[in-house]
């Protein structure tokens, strides 16, 4: 059912922090982790779960540390992995960058957190904002030691009571990432939009919020089928949202955590015309040179503009002496990632730009075969959502009856936006 | 100020220094010293010598210091049990502290100190804490019961903690309910003390909407163990949990999927409700593929199961499994597997062009798997076989060594699925003969040459070229070479006599390998005694290989579906294989009883690892079919079973296949006895037949008495199939033999219990050999204590065939 122990290791496999939760394993078993991982790496069979005769290791790697959970039974791996990721998230709230040195620097508070976040292998409270209310590093005396906030065990386990703001404000960011995969001959193999609604909430008390979107299911149900609406394929909500309510009547109602959090995410499979399309022609004269002709096309409406567009085009790792020619933007060669990057600060809709590049190749061909990384594109288009999703209203009800201002922003950006090369 | 300075002191006399500091009057110094001690403990230094000094710091008014001392205690109490008692007073006192944080801390820590003497003192404080006014303390106490149970189960039962825990299920606070459920599930896993009933389920469903994400997982996992009374209840649970599919936490989503998948089974398949529910299942699973790569991996392994169980759920979603360039390799491999499972005529063009793309990547393992995948598509989707073969040929033209080898292996499989269709490509294959250096590829190529010897003009030359280095070849290649030359000889006897003599003498006289020698002798005898018979045997029509080769055995699949999200589902192994052997025995039989569903059978496979090795020791069954199948030697030790159904014979693994590939698949289901009978026994009657492949011993027998099985004189010693201790006193011994051309299952059933047995039966599971009883098994009843009966059950082999790799473990 649950983890026997949690370890934080450095890259060499040395233990930085170890917390034994169930006392059913020999803690020195962790010494077997690194050799096992290396062995699997050599075979090219590394998976996030490693089986050893005595225990099973479930692990993630973050910056230069490993978070390892060892288990003896048929544990819920998904639970363990989600918990490990949650640990990183919480540590991050406590001391920013989570890496070897910062873990050592904060080992006392990490022990306290591990003690509070998991008991006997069962994850407990993992809301960092709530934890910060009673796990601090201030050396309290018993008399005025903090008590567990009500929120720890409440149904609303993510917000404490008694929060006050002079100016009540809510910021909503609707961010859509476009994932696209195109084949070398230009067909779009896969295209999806992954959207998130992020909130920054500065509200007094225990406000009750209701968010209205132009959700197709809702519109059809209420006879407004003709208005412009969006069919959300799959919606995921922060735990503050009442899921059964949404399931019943598609109402998104919740008491928000304080500060910033991700309210919801959604996914749409609708195939849209790729927002930025890259055409390449490569002429390769082995042993001497390789030439690229790149055409970038923006295929969204003229009144929108994409900002900070970066087109990353891979080149052979042994290419050298780059020469570029372009009418717009700047180009730089980044040998460390075997690519060149074409940056266009502002790229209005319905335009087309060209770039030509020339590289020399060594006369001796290297033995190692190289993979064929795809072209990647990064961009940001403000005031625009690909799906057409809209926030219709955000109702804020609090018993003191204050007026709060909601602010909404829309932005579309690249997700995994890749085009394979020939 | 950072904590890293505590790690730095390493000079001699450190322990002594720490001791002084710990006993210092200055509080600040004390605290610093404890931190140093914890730091040393963390890096693995033994600081247990400081135990009394650290415990002395326990009585402090500083919470942080208290926590550190508690942490120390948890680590070292076990090594210093007598000293640990010193701490008990403080614990008990802390359990009365006005601050709930301290009360909870004390009860939490106390439960983690696994010292017998301390557990006694734990009971009273724990009882109080379970009724504490503060939910934070109650939720901690709930978990503490599980801790106590882990150390001393009888104490928990005697002291009535289970009932108290049960009460907490009705607590007003959702987190308390969630922890109580987690603790109960854990306790039930070892020993079912509290049965989840429908009233409880209702409470859980209410708490589900209010507790934390982790609590939701505990509740859902508990619901997965519950069997609803009727359809209405099942549907109600489905309705109330399905909103959880929209939760941001992947663990909540997968646990919901698990419960839904289990409950769907109980509902009428064609109802509107099911159609709706299934439609709801796909999107959340697809979304999991945008999660962190580790979680993607777990999701993909589970999707693999779900696709096998209900292919319709994800059949439209092929594209999301396309591999991305920067996916970790473990994600890539899993995606490939699922792509093949979802491949069908409507999407095969897309799949193929993707696979071809992957086959030109750089990661060798991934490329190989992609090439194999192309072959599997050809076998699975007949309409696409032509395109697949064309794609494979294109890949062979790349001349990349490992691509060519892999392609040859899969082309052999394609030939076996579609004989006499693509022989035109043999010449292309032969061009690459020299580059093949892996045994499997060489063996495949040789098989192709032997099989189509009459159409390859220079087949004799080709085969002869292999003979020069015969002794340096891998056994697999040698066996294949032997068979191929014999085939060639039978097809073109005029000019290959010398060749066949050469290979036979190489195999029989110069080889140390018994398998090879035996096969050589058989061919030799066959050829010299009766060439017509030899032709019939060696050139017999071969069964086609089946499409789905790596499907999980259905009862295992059902069981894994009930454990979605767990280790078992990631490894596709029965859940019990991950459970401590030491904690196992208590729940064996109970499980077998409580599960009327098909899943029940495998709940108890736990014995498999140990008992297979004991009981499935090779007993040779020299049935004629076995011999023939072996002679055909189709099985290149690849993962493709020879499809026994078509010939009605036993697929005998080729000699090199090793002993584990035994006949052991004839697992009998533990047919539930008549529950109303007072004895209530005979539940787990089951059996597994084991036989060995025709190894040396078996063949020697064969030659000694010219196929004894045909005359029917051979009696095999019976094997113990089911031990009395595992089946409430019923012992089952048996063997599978052939007598007068019929397959018989001889069984001796002995009642080793104290009472008479009645109302039991033996059922043969659907198995990979199509073996089924030809007539009803007659069970004289009742069976008196100590009495034994002998039963012979004639069997036929035309029964429904379970396509799968033969089971190798004993199912009880």
In contact, A138 and A161? CB cutoff 8 Å: no
| Residue whose C-alpha is closest to residue B507's, from B470, B465, B453, B464 | B470
Shortest Cα distance, chain B CAs vs residue A341, angstroms: 18
Size of interface A-B (CB pairs under 8 A): 283
Q: In the prediction, which pLDDT does A397 show?
A: 93
Q: Tokens at residue A315, please?
A: 């080149």
**Closest-approach residue (CA) in chain B for A110:** B3
Q: What is the pTM of this model?
A: 0.80
Distances (CA, A) of B549 to A363, B108, B331, B375, B639: 48, 50, 21, 12, 7
Q: In the prediction, which pLDDT does B26 show?
A: 83
Q: In the prediction, which pLDDT does A344 show?
A: 96
Chain A residues close to B143, C-beta within 8 Å: 119-120, 122
- A181-210: average pLDDT: 93
Q: Tokens at residue A350, please?
A: 């319905």
**Closest-approach residue (CA) in chain A for B567:** A74
Q: In the prediction, which pLDDT does A161 show?
A: 87
Please count the other Cβ atoms lying within 10 Å of the Cβ belonging to residue A129. 17
Q: Domain boundaries in chain A?
A: 5-152, 169-272+386-419, 276-382
- Give the contacts of A9 (CB within 8 A, at least 6 positions apart): A15, A16, A30, A33, A34, A65, A66, A68
Distances (CA, A) of B212 to A124, A153, B176, B215, B684: 8, 9, 11, 5, 41
**Closest-approach residue (CA) in chain B for A53:** B578
Do B39 and A107 count as a contact with CB atoms less than 8 A apart? yes
Band of pLDDT at residue A143, cut at 50, 70 and 90: low
Q: In the prediction, which pLDDT does B713 show?
A: 40
Phi, psi angles (nearest 5°) of residue A407: -115, 130
Shortest Cα distance, chain B CAs vs residue A147, angstroms: 6
Measured between CB atoms, does A243 come within 8 Å of chain B? yes
Task: Find tokens 């099973």 and name the residue.
Answer: A56
Q: Which CATH number fits domain A5-152: 3.40.50.1370, 3.90.550.10, 3.90.1150.10, 3.30.450.60?
A: 3.30.450.60
Phi, psi angles (nearest 5°) of residue A84: -60, -40
Helices (H), B562-692: 567-571, 588-594, 608-615, 624-632
Distance of alpha carbon A170 from its chain centroid, rounded?
22
Is residue A417 left, alpha or beta, with left meaning phi > 0 and alpha meaning psi from -120 to 50?
Answer: beta
Q: Which DSSP letter does residue B249 get?
A: -
Interface of A with B in 117-146 (CB under 8 A): 119-120, 122-127, 134, 137, 139-143, 145-146
For the CA atoms of A30, A31, A33, A35, the dihedral, rounded to the nearest 10 degrees, stands at -170
CA distance B205 to B217: 12
Q: Which of B63, B248, B298 lies nearest to residue A239, judging by beta carbons?
A: B248
Q: In the prediction, which pLDDT does B767 show?
A: 60
Distance of alpha carbon A113 from its chain centroid, rounded?
23
User: How, if at all, do strands B742-751 and A352-360 pair?
Assistant: unpaired
User: How, if at all, do strands A169-182 and A330-334 pair?
Assistant: unpaired
Architecture, CATH, for domain A169-272+386-419: Sandwich (2.60)
Do B64 and A139 count as a contact with CB atoms less than 8 A apart? yes
In contact, B731 and B606? CB cutoff 8 Å: no
CA distance B14 to B487: 80
Phi, psi angles (nearest 5°) of residue A213: -115, 165
Q: What would you report as the CA-atom Rg of chain A, rounded to the nearest whole angstrom?
A: 26
Q: In the prediction, which pLDDT does B763 show?
A: 58
Instruction: Check if A169-272+386-419 and A276-382 are the same fold.
Output: yes
Please give the average pLDDT of every successive group of 10 residues along chain B, which has 812 residues. 64 75 84 88 84 85 87 87 84 91 92 86 92 94 94 91 92 93 90 83 92 95 92 94 95 97 90 91 93 96 95 91 93 95 92 93 91 93 92 91 93 90 88 89 93 88 88 90 92 88 89 90 90 88 75 90 93 82 40 34 32 34 36 38 35 34 33 34 32 34 35 53 60 69 71 63 59 64 68 67 50 42
CA distance B125 to B131: 10
- A115-133: average pLDDT: 93
Chain A residues close to B44, C-beta within 8 Å: 15
Shortest Cα distance, chain A CAs vs residue B357, angstroms: 9
In contact, A354 and A294? CB cutoff 8 Å: yes
> Could you check whether the bond before residue B56 is cis, i.e. omega within 30 degrees of 0?
no
| Residue whose C-alpha is closest to residue B105's, from A111, A70, A133 | A111
> In this prediction, what percent of chain A has a pLDDT beyond 70?
96
Do A16 and B42 count as a contact with CB atoms less than 8 A apart? yes
Shortest Cα distance, chain B CAs vs residue A79, angstroms: 5
Chain B residues close to A179, C-beta within 8 Å: 290
CATH superfamily of A276-382: Mu homology domain, subdomain B (2.60.40.1170)
Shortest Cα distance, chain A CAs vs residue B50, angstroms: 19
């Amino acid at each position: 059912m649950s983890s026997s122990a949690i370890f934080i290791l450095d890259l060499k496999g040395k233990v930085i922090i170890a917390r034994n939760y169930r006392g059913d394993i020999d803690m020195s078993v962790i010494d077997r982790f690194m050799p096992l991982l290396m062995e699997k790496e050599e075979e090219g069979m590394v998976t996030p779960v490693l089986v050893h005769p005595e225990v099973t290791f479930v692990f993630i790697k973050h910056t230069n540390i490993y978070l390892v959970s060892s288990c003896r039974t048929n544990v819920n791996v998904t639970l363990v992995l989600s918990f490990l990721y949650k640990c990183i998230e919480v540590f991050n709230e406590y001391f920013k960058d989570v890496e070897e040195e910062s873990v050592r620097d904060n080992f006392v508070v990490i022990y306290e957190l591990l003690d509070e976040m998991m008991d006997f292998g069962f994850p407990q409270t993992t809301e960092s904002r709530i934890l910060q209310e009673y796990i601090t590093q201030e050396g309290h005396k018993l008399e005025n030691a903090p008590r567990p906030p009500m929120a720890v065990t409440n149904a609303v386990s993510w917000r404490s009571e008694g929060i006050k703001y002079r100016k009540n404000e809510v910021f909503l960011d609707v961010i859509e990432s476009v994932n696209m995969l195109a084949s070398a001959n230009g067909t779009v193999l896969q295209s999806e939009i992954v959207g998130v609604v992020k909130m920054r909430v500065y509200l007094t008390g225990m406000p009750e919020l209701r968010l209205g979107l132009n959700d197709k299911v809702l519109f059809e149900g209420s006879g407004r089928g003709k208005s412009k609406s969006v069919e959300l394929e799959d919606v995921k909500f922060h735990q503050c949202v009442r899921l059964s309510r949404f399931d019943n009547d598609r109402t998104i109602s919740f008491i928000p955590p304080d500060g910033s959090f991700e309210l919801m995410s959604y996914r749409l499979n609708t195939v849209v015309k790729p927002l930025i399309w890259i055409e390449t022609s490569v002429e390769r004269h082995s042993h001497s040179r390789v030439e690229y002709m790149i055409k970038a096309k923006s295929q969204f409406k003229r009144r929108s503009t994409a900002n900070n567009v970066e087109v990353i085009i891979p080149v052979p790792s042994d290419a050298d002496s780059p020469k570029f020619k372009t009418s717009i933007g700047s180009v730089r060669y980044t040998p460390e990632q075997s690519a060149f990057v074409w940056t266009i600060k502002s790229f209005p809709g319905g335009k087309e730009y060209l770039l030509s590049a020339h590289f020399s190749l060594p006369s001796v061909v290297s033995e190692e075969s190289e993979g064929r990384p795809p072209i990647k594109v990064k961009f940001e288009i403000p005031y625009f959502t690909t799906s057409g999703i809209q926030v219709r209203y955000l109702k804020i009800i609090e018993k003191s009856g204050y007026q709060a201002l909601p602010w909404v922003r829309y932005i579309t950006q690249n997700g995994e936006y890749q085009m394979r090369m020939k | 100020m950072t904590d890293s300075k505590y790690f730095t002191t390493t000079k001699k006399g450190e322990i002594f220094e720490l001791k002084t500091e710990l006993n210092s009057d200055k509080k600040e110094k004390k605290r610093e010293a404890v931190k140093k001690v914890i730091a040393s403990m963390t890096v693995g230094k033994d600081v247990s010598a400081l135990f009394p000094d650290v415990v002395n710091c326990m009585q402090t008014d500083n919470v942080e210091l208290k926590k550190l001392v508690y942490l120390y205690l948890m680590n070292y109490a076990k090594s210093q049990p007598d000293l640990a008692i010193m701490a008990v007073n403080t614990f008990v006192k802390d359990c009365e502290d006005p601050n709930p944080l301290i009360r909870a801390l004390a009860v939490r820590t106390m439960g983690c100190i696994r010292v017998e003497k301390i557990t006694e003192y734990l009971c009273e404080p724990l009882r109080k804490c379970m009724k504490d006014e503060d939910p934070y303390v109650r939720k901690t106490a709930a978990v503490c019961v599980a801790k106590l149970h882990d150390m001393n189960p009888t104490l928990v039962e005697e002291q009535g903690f289970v009932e108290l825990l049960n009460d907490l299920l009705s607590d007003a606070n959702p987190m308390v309910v969630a922890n109580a459920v987690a603790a109960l599930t854990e306790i039930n896993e070892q020993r079912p003390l509290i049965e989840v009933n429908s009233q409880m389920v209702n409470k859980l469903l209410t708490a589900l909407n209010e507790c934390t994400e982790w609590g939701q997982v505990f509740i859902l996992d508990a619901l997965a163990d519950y069997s609803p009374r009727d359809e209405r209840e099942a549907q109600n649970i489905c309705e109330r949990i399905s909103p959880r599919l929209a939760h941001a936490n992947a663990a909540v989503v997968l646990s919901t999927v698990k419960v839904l998948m289990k409950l769907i089974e109980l509902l009428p398949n064609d109802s509107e409700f099911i159609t709706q529910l299934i439609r709801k299942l796909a999107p959340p699973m697809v979304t999991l593929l945008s999660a962190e790569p580790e979680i993607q991996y777990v999701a993909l392994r589970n999707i693999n199961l779900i696709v096998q169980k209900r292919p319709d759920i994800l059949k439209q979603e092929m594209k999301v499994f396309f591999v991305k360039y920067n996916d970790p390799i473990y994600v890539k491999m899993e995606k490939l597997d699922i792509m093949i499972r979802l491949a069908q005529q409507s999407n095969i063009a897309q799949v193929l062009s993707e696979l071809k793309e992957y086959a030109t990547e750089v990661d060798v393992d991934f490329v190989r798997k992609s090439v194999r995948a192309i072959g599997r598509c050809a076998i699975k989707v007949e309409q696409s076989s032509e395109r697949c073969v064309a794609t494979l040929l294109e890949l062979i033209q790349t001349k990349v060594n490992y691509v060519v080898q892999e392609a040859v292996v899969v082309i052999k499989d394609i030939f076996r699925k579609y004989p006499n269709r693509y022989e035109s490509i043999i010449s292309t294959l032969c061009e690459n003969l020299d580059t093949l250096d892996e045994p499997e590829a060489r063996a495949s190529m040789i098989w192709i040459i032997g099989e189509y010897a009459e159409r390859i003009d220079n087949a004799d030359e080709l085969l002869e070229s292999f003979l020069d280095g015969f002794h340096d070849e891998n056994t697999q290649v040698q066996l294949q070479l032997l068979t191929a030359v014999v085939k060639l000889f039978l097809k073109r006897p005029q000019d290959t006599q010398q060749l066949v003599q050469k290979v036979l003498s190489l195999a029989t006289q110069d080889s140390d390998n018994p398998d090879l020698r035996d096969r050589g002798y058989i061919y030799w005898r066959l050829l010299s005694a009766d060439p017509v018979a030899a032709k019939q045997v060696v050139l017999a029509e071969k069964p086609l290989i089946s499409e789905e080769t790596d499907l999980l055995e259905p009862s295992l699949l059902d069981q894994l579906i009930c454990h979605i999200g767990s280790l078992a589902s990631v490894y596709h192994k029965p859940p019990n294989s991950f459970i401590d052997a030491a904690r196992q025995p208590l729940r064996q039989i109970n499980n077998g009883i409580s599960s009327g569903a098909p899943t029940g059978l495998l709940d108890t496979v736990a014995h498999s690892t140990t008992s297979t090795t004991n009981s499935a020791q090779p007993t040779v069954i020299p049935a004629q079919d076995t011999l023939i199948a072996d002679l055909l030697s189709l099985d290149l030790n690849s993962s493709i079973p020879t499809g026994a159904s078509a010939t009605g014979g036993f697929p005998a693994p080729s000699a090199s296949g090793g002993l584990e590939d035994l006949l052991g698949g004839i697992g009998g289901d533990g047919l539930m006895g008549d529950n109303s009978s007072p004895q209530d026994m005979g539940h787990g009657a089951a059996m597994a037949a084991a036989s060995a492949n025709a190894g040396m011993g078996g063949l020697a027998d064969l030659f000694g008495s010219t196929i004894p099985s045909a005359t029917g004189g051979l009696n095999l010693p019976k094997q113990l199939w089911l031990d009395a201790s595992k089946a409430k006193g019923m012992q089952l011994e048996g063997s599978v033999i052939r007598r007068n051309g019929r397959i018989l299952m001889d069984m001796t059933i002995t009642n080793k219990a104290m009472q008479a047995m009645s109302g039991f039966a033996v059922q043969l599971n659907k198995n990979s050999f199509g073996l089924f009883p030809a007539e009803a098994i007659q069970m004289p009843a009742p069976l008196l204590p100590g009495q034994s009966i002998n039963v012979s059950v004639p069997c036929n082999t035309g029964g429904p065939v379970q396509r799968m790799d033969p089971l190798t473990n004993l199912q009880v």
